Amino acid sequence: MAVNTDELYDVIIVGTGFAGVYGLHKMRESGFRVMAVEAGDSVGGCWYWNRYPGLRCDVDSLEYAYAFSDELQQEWRWSERYAPQSEILGYIQFAARKLDLEKDILFNTRIASARFDNGSGIWTLTSENGDTMRAHYVVMATGCLSIPNKPDIPGIGDFEGEIVHSVQWPEGHLDLADKNVAVIGTGSTGVQMIPLLAREAKHLTVVQRTPAFAVPARNQPWNDARIEYWRQNFRELREAAKNTRAGVLHEYGLLPSAAVRPEDRIADLERRWIKGGPNVLYGFSDLLVNEETNNLVSDFLRGKIADAVDNPETAKKLMPYEYPVGTKRVCVGTDYYETYNRDNVSLIDLRTEKLQQIEKDGIRTDAGFYPVDVLVMATGYDAITGALLAIDITTTAGKSLREEWGKGPETYMGYGIAGIPNLFAVTGPGSPSVFSNMVLSVEHDMDWISACIAHLKERDFATIEADPAAQAAWMEHVDAVASLTLVNKAASWYRGANVEGKPQKFMPYVGGVNTYQKRCWEIARNGYEGFLINGKPETSPARKEEMAHS
């Protein structure tokens, strides 16, 4: 049965990545009339849109998976430590089929605007095609990394070859043999694709504005013993992850570097380096708050670049000095630095070589001309706020959210926005979001939002919205926690610094998943303190009973 857009829903979920898929299941289980709307023709979110060569997740696949269902866990077998995109997409599709969700999803429909009617308390969502749908509550599961950042680089409009953005990689094989390829961008995406493109292209030119810290993934197939261990201990392991600051079972060093003997510090970093993945970042408890510790780890990683790259000049260009390690996302890759030892790879380091313009057949810098047939933009995303602001949302006072967030986003706990009733953001700004295991965080947020909606419905409340005072206090806290760390020292996408004209403000909450989740449920237990709840509570039998016993 197809979605009926004439129906008045309790909840509409926008987006069906990891968040929307679980949210649809959860809200259906909670007894709500719920539908989801999706721009693509499949569930999957960023794992549906992104399909560039080399794309994998940089969280262990056993942890980058739903925690709510033993059944899903038992039936799905991850093949590798860092699952490739096709497998992650397959997993989300498997979950949607297993939970019979697709019948409640309106595919190929991108929402353009959302309007709340104060009188009726009903949201109307309108798609780019003019379709409308209505609900009492809207849940924005639109993702933190879904709107591509397409910088206006001088001359790019004159380029006559093919331009491919990593987020919009063409389906099927893109033939790069005999082509001069250039990649702009050396974040996680660039670091993953560069080694593979270098193997395929005639020549690869990498344009680097800021070097990344990249660590080796040391990806490998899971062995049966590991899979079995997870099957046996699934519930305990996932619960344990929730009590960590990142929502991932890293081996967290509990001591600051100063409390560890100098020779043991390096030995531990070496051991973690060999283990692979981001392990090397978790050796000391104070990496993100202590510059000395940070320098120690940064120097260690720069030393690894010197070891891997044959040409010392190139190695130097690849070394980041302008930000503390961990304040921009550390990239997990395979053979990234070694790729620069190939004869068919050139590096344009924009710190030492000035970009003049892109021309019809290449890139011109003050040091020369680089012929290009295919230009790959690995330039990232308008992150965290991009997808929310792509939808025209207005406050009850008639102000647009874009205007409201002109100086940077403000939310209460990442979920609520003052002046916008009955709309919830999932992993919104002011929540741990991209500073956490996203799958664990989206599941948590959907649990919380659905408990909140159940609370309102049971009591016949009409509207909920963030109290401006609580919102201001929470954002102050988010800023204060960020200021205790080094995160503001980087021009990162966490701060909106990668997008021309975007207000700069550190957006994720860095106080830890454990602290954040605890606070969320305290708020719920305290009757959703910090939210303004309106309606006619006396009409609800549940509320009447509650009042009689109070």
**Residues of span 166-185 touching ligand NAP by CB under 6 A:** 184-185
95 near ligand NAP (CB under 6 A): no
Q: Select the residue interacting with ligand NAP from 72, 156, 289, 434 (CB under 6 A).
A: 434
Q: Count CA atoms within 13 Å of residue 303 on its CB side.
A: 10
151 near ligand NAP (CB under 6 A): yes
The rounded distance, in Å, linking the Cα atoms of 424 and 522 is: 18
378 near ligand NAP (CB under 6 A): yes
**Residues of span 436-495 touching ligand NAP by CB under 6 A:** 493
The rounded distance, in Å, linking the Cα atoms of 284 and 376 is: 37
Q: DSSP alpha helices (H): ranges in 115-223?
A: 188-200
Structure tokens at 132: 């409308």
Residue type, position 11, single letter: V
109 near ligand NAP (CB under 6 A): no
Q: Select the residue interacting with ligand NAP from 72, 112, 153, 532 (CB under 6 A).
A: 153
| Length of the chain as a residue count | 550
Q: CB within 8 A of 168, min separation 6: which ones?
A: 49, 148
Residue type, position 130, single letter: G
DSSP letters for 29-71:
HTT--EEEE-SSSSS-THHHH---TT-B-SS-TTTSS-SS-HH
Instruction: Indicate the residue among 56 and 203 with the shorter CB distance to ligand NAP.
Output: 56
The rounded distance, in Å, linking the Cα atoms of 185 and 433 is: 23
Instruction: Indicate the residue among 149 and 290 with the shorter CB distance to ligand NAP.
Output: 149
- Residue 427's region, left for phi above 0, alpha for psi from -120 to 50, else beta, is left
189 near ligand NAP (CB under 6 A): yes
Q: Kindly indicate which of the ranges 134-142, 202-210, 219-227, 277-285 contains the residues binding ligand NAP, using the contact rule CB under 6 A.
A: 202-210
- Please report how close the Cβ of residue 398 comes to ligand NAP at its closest, in angstroms: 34
Beta strands in 372-468 (DSSP E): 374-377, 392-393, 423-425, 461-466
- Please report how close the Cβ of residue 46 comes to ligand NAP at its closest, in angstroms: 8
Instruction: Indicate the residue among 334 and 463 with the shorter CB distance to ligand NAP.
Output: 334
187 near ligand NAP (CB under 6 A): yes
By beta carbon distance, the residue nearest ligand NAP is 187
- Please report how close the Cβ of residue 497 comes to ligand NAP at its closest, in angstroms: 7
- Please report how close the Cβ of residue 381 comes to ligand NAP at its closest, in angstroms: 6
Span between the terminal Cα atoms of the chain, in Å: 45
Q: Select the residue interacting with ligand NAP from 301, 332, 425, 449 (CB under 6 A).
A: 332
163 near ligand NAP (CB under 6 A): no
The rounded distance, in Å, linking the Cα atoms of 367 and 365 is: 5
CA angle 457, 463, 468 (to 5 degrees): 135
H/E stretch holding 303 = helix 291-308
- Please report how close the Cβ of residue 151 comes to ligand NAP at its closest, in angstroms: 3
Q: Kindly indicate which of the ranges 56-64, 69-77, 104-112, 475-483 contains the residues binding ligand NAP, using the contact rule CB under 6 A.
A: 56-64
81 near ligand NAP (CB under 6 A): no
The pairing of strands 122-127 and 345-349 is: unpaired
Helix (H, G, I), strand (E, B) or coil at 517: helix
H/E stretch holding 301 = helix 291-308
209 near ligand NAP (CB under 6 A): yes
Instruction: Indicate the residue among 470 and 499 with the shorter CB distance to ligand NAP.
Output: 499
Q: Please state, in angstroms and as integers, the Cα–Cα distance from residue 495 to each residue in 127, 230, 383, 408, 508, following that order.
A: 30, 36, 9, 9, 9
Instruction: Indicate the residue among 434 and 454 with the shorter CB distance to ligand NAP.
Output: 434
Torsions phi, psi for 202 (to 5 deg): -65, -50
CA 298 and chain centroid, separation:
24
Q: Which residues pair with 464 in a beta bridge?
A: 533
Q: Select the residue interacting with ligand NAP from 20, 362, 380, 414 (CB under 6 A).
A: 380
- Please report how close the Cβ of residue 453 comes to ligand NAP at its closest, in angstroms: 29
112 near ligand NAP (CB under 6 A): no
x/- string (CB under 6 A) for ligand NAP, residues 301-330? Answer: ----------------------------x-
237 near ligand NAP (CB under 6 A): no
Residue type, position 334, single letter: T
Q: Select the residue interacting with ligand NAP from 89, 133, 145, 482 (CB under 6 A).
A: 145
Residue type, position 327, single letter: T
Residue type, position 148, single letter: P
- Please report how close the Cβ of residue 399 comes to ligand NAP at its closest, in angstroms: 29
Q: Select the residue interacting with ligand NAP from 38, 58, 87, 410 (CB under 6 A).
A: 58
Q: Kindly indicate which of the ranges 23-31, 53-61, 257-265, 533-541 contains the residues binding ligand NAP, using the contact rule CB under 6 A.
A: 53-61
Structure tokens at 443: 């599941």
Count of residues in contact with ligand NAP, rule CB under 6 A: 26
The binding site for ligand NAP (CB under 6 A) comprises 56-58, 145, 151, 153, 184-190, 192, 207, 209-210, 329, 332, 378-381, 434, 493, 498
